[in-house]
Structure 1
Amino acid sequence: MIVWAIANQKGGVGKTTTTVTLGGMLAQRGKRVLLIDTDPHASLTYYFNIDTDDLSNSMYALFLAGKDVTREQAQQTICASGFDNLDVLPATMALATLDRKLGTQSGMGLVIRRLTQLLQNDYDYVLIDVPPVLGVLMVNALAASTRVIIPVQTEFLALKGLDRMMGTLKLIQHSKSLQHQVTIVPTLYDKRTRASLEAYQKLRTMHGDLVWNGMIPVDTKFRDASTAQTPPSIYAPNSRGVFAYNGLLSTLLSQDQPV
């Protein structure tokens, strides 16, 4: 099983779009994929028309179980996405209370890692949509993953957010003795604007080989796919945005091999 965390400490940079698009593409290639929503806003959960009010279980309940969470509990919490080979572990707003209620309890930083170990034989890939806040949810996602994918909007303020994310990643890696492969993905790139070009060039200058050598363009098909509650690669397979994500996925697959 390969576990990817899609994270950034700035919102609105394309984390959920990246999670859904890459997950959909992997599923279309016949891989068994689990998408984990750890954001209290539950955008990934809503994307697949999963109503949090109707859920008897969610990621919050699994965190309440903590280190005692079982495979049966995890399987009972997983929701079908409506698309072949693609499942979702849903989030609810209750996740926003985790740091206050449970953040100091022993073992709370490793709940998602335990979940992935319990589900090791059920999935080939796990993609975690991470909230833009440093806390127990982000720590969990980073502790469970071997690769961190960081979508970064190609504009000045987003670059500042990336600086915070890179600092957080180094801090957590040091405290948890972790190593990650890191892929920075330029997103919302608009070739018509100087701001996008300058931001992309600065990304390359500051972070070098950590930056994927392509970029994800602004594409209204992403919004349309979200409205249709369908992964972009299924909704608009020939769109320029999907073409770009296919290039990103090819790069990631060439670097990661299942174990």
Structure 2
Amino acid sequence: MRTIAILNFKGGVGKTVTTATLACLLAKRKKRVLAIDADSQGNLSQYFGVEPTEDDTCTTMELLTSGAGYYPDFVTPTCIDDVDVIPADIRLLAADVDATVRGEAHRDAIESLRLALEEDAGDPDSYDYLLIDCPPALSTACAAALIAADEVIIPIRLDAFSTGGMSNLVFQINNMRRINPRLRVRGVLVTQYTKTEEERQALEVLQNSPLPVFQTVIRFSKRVCAGTFAKMPLVEFSPWCAAAQDYRDLAEEILREDGEGRGKA
């Protein structure tokens, strides 16, 4: 099982769209996926039609504050076959307060869950991928995600503010490697690409940097925004828009690197 955190401290770069879309596309390739919503905005949960109620205890908040426990207790099936989710909502902010008041970071909760999933790897119903949609800040949930992750995917827009924040992001990832030596940057993913001259130049600079960069570039599409109103993963809402087609190429690139690419879904 591969555990991948989708992370950028800059908002609006496509973290949640990337997480939801990759989960759907991997599931179409007969991979079982568990997605963890680690953002208190709960947008990933909403994409999959899962919105916790006030009494719901199957959430990332409970996972962090009570420990992994028996992991199926936290998992909710989604509207997509072979994709399950641990949902989140605004109550996840309480995990940070709880950690501060009690002096506990709850940082090993997702790692404990990952280890429990690894133990079930031989089960036909075990997960192939654990995808974590991280918040745009180094919160309790984000730290727990990086401690559990094997890899980080960094979605980025090619504007001055997003690219300017990369050094801080990479610094924080490298810091987390002192706790989790497995952690590596899988790749920087350019999103919302419009092919302006400024973006072309920024892409060239990025590709010549020491960071790994995905060959796939996700083009800008108005259908991405429309899909958020429909609360549907992009490849379900608008499967043939430019961005959806690019995400298929991304899934193929990831599976090919994992030794399992088999043509487009």
The normalised TM-score by structure 2 is 0.87
Q: RMSD over aligned Cα, in angstroms?
A: 2.0
Aligned to 1:186: 190
Q: Distance in 2 between matches of 1:183 and 1:55?
A: 38
Structure 2 partner of 1:45: 45
Give the C-alpha shift of residue 134 in structure 1.
1.2
Partner of 1:28: 28
Give the aligned residue type for 2:64: F
For residues 182-233 of structure 1, what are the alpha-carbon distances to aligned partners after superposition, in whole Å with 9 as ceiling and x for unaligned?
2100111001x2232222122123345x011231110122223333332222
**Which amino acid is 1:251 matched to?**
E
Q: In the alignment, which of 214, 218, 221 is matched to residue 220 of structure 2?
A: 218
CA distance in 1, matches of 2:132, 2:183: 17
Aligned partners of 2:83, 2:156: CA distance in 1, in Å?
Answer: 25
- Percent identity over paired residues: 29
Q: Which runs of 4+ in 1 moved over 6 A?
A: none
* Cα separation, 2, equivalents of 1:131 and 1:79: 20
Q: Which runs of 5+ in 1 are unaligned?
A: none
CA displacement, residues 58-112 of structure 1 (integer Å, 9 cap, x when unaligned): 111111212xx322xx323222211111111001212213233225755721110
Structure 2 residues without counterparts, runs of 5 or longer: 121-125, 261-265
Per the alignment, do residues 223 and 55 of structure 1 end up closer, same or farther by CA in structure 2, a change over 3 Å counting? farther
Aligned to 1:76: 73
Distance 1:213 1:49 in 2: 31
Does 2:137 correspond to 1:137? no
- Residue of structure 2 equivalent to 1:170: 174
How many corresponding residue pairs?
A: 252
Distance 2:259 2:178 in 1: 25
How far apart, in 2, do the equivalents of 1:116 and 1:64 lie? 16
> TM-score scaled by structure 1?
0.89
Question: Structure 1, residues 229-257: CA drift from partner, whole Å, max 9, x if none?
Answer: 32222222222111211111122112236
Paired with 1:176 and 1:116, the residues of 2 have a C-alpha distance of 13
2:199 aligned with 1:196 = yes
Task: Tell me what 1:237 maps to.
Answer: 239
Larger mean Cα displacement after TM superposition, 49-58 or 138-147: 49-58
Say which SS state the counterpart of residue 41 (structure 2) adopts. coil
- Determine the structure 2 residue equivalent to 1:96: 93
Q: Which moved more, 1:229-238 or 1:9-18?
A: 229-238
Aligned residue identity for 1:61: E
1:116 has 2:119 as partner: no
Q: Which has the higher helix share?
A: 1
Does the residue aligned with 1:184 lie in a helix, a strand or coil? Answer: strand
CA distance in 1, matches of 2:69, 2:42: 23
Kept in 2, the 8 Å contact 1:70–1:118? The answer is no
Report the residue type matching 2:110 in the other structure: I
Partners of 1:55 and 1:33 lie apart in 2 by 25
